[in-house]
Amino acid sequence: MQVHALKTPLIKPKDNIVNALLQAIEKHNLKLEEKDIIVIASKVLAIAQGRVIKLNQISESRKAKTLAQIYLLKPQFVELILHEAEQIYGGVEKAILTLKDGILTVNAGIDHKNAPADHAALWPLEPHQQAEDIRNRIKKKTGKNVGVLIMDSQVAPLRMGTRGLALAASGFKPVKDYRKEYDLFGKPLLITRHAIADDLASSAHLLMGESNEKIPFVLIKNAPVTFTDKRVSSEEMQIQFEKCVYTSALNISAA
């Protein structure tokens, strides 16, 4: 597997993501081929969608002011979290644990980083539909069947630092089910499923970085995945609350 970082100029609101991607591939003297995978930073997609909010345009509620004092965040930023999150569970300084689009994430995916001063970037709207649309547009322009992955970063329980998170995927199976297979000693695998899309997201995240790298796209070649024309749903990439070891053990619910 080869993983190629694709640097670009700053992506601006309403920019054409597919054009910027194909120009970056050409600029780096690479060639888009059948069954390549394109990884796109979620923030770039959010910027192109206009999902960057000026904080001084937000009117904060009393609840936002209270939570802002507890977690040392700007009240306007917390108001955005309240608007975007399905649930709020608590947090630490600068970070509130939330449920957003069925994913446990910090601050409902909202981020100051790599947004203009006094602005915040939200998660993109309908990421699975966006991944599907981008894949179809790439095929229309190039004739190539590729996979598309929308990526953000996340933190994991009791682990330091961020890692890649696949918000959405199109064109390949995001999870491999090992429950009908056997280990080296012939024992059946009972619960194991491999988060293929998240692993690919982490490989891209390693190159994209977290600051001023200007790498919104990553091109992955020869990835060990199963390609499919069947549309990928969010349910394929998520586990129910009652079956998740973390939410069950900590008694966290979706409602």
Asked if pLDDT for residue 14 goes beyond 90, the answer is: no
Check if the beta carbon of residue 120 is closer than 8 Å to that of residue 108.
Answer: no
Lowest pLDDT segment from 103-107, 139-143, 209-213: 209-213
Q: Is the pLDDT of residue 114 over 90?
A: no
152: pLDDT strictly greater than 90: yes
H helices within the chain, ranges in order? Answer: 17-27, 42-48, 62-71, 75-84, 127-142, 196-208, 245-249
pLDDT band at 255 (very low <50, low <70, confident <90, very high): confident
Contacts of 77 by beta carbon, 8 Å cutoff, 6+ apart: 55, 68, 107, 110, 112, 120
Specify the CATH superfamily of domain 2-49+124-249: CofE-like (3.30.1330.100)
How many angstroms separate the Cα of 94 from the Cα of each of 46, 49, 88, 186? 22, 26, 14, 47
- Res. 70: pLDDT tops 90: yes
CATH number for 52-122 (one of 3.40.50.150, 3.30.2010.10, 3.90.1660.10, 1.10.10.10): it is 3.90.1660.10
On the question of a common fold for 2-49+124-249 and 52-122, the answer reads no
Mean per-residue pLDDT, 99-120 = 94
Taking CB atoms within 8 Å and a gap of at least 24, the contacts of 85-92 are 86/254, 87/254, 87/255, 89/252
CB atoms < 10 A from the CB of 197, how many? 28
Q: Hey, where are the domains in the chain?
A: 2-49+124-249, 52-122
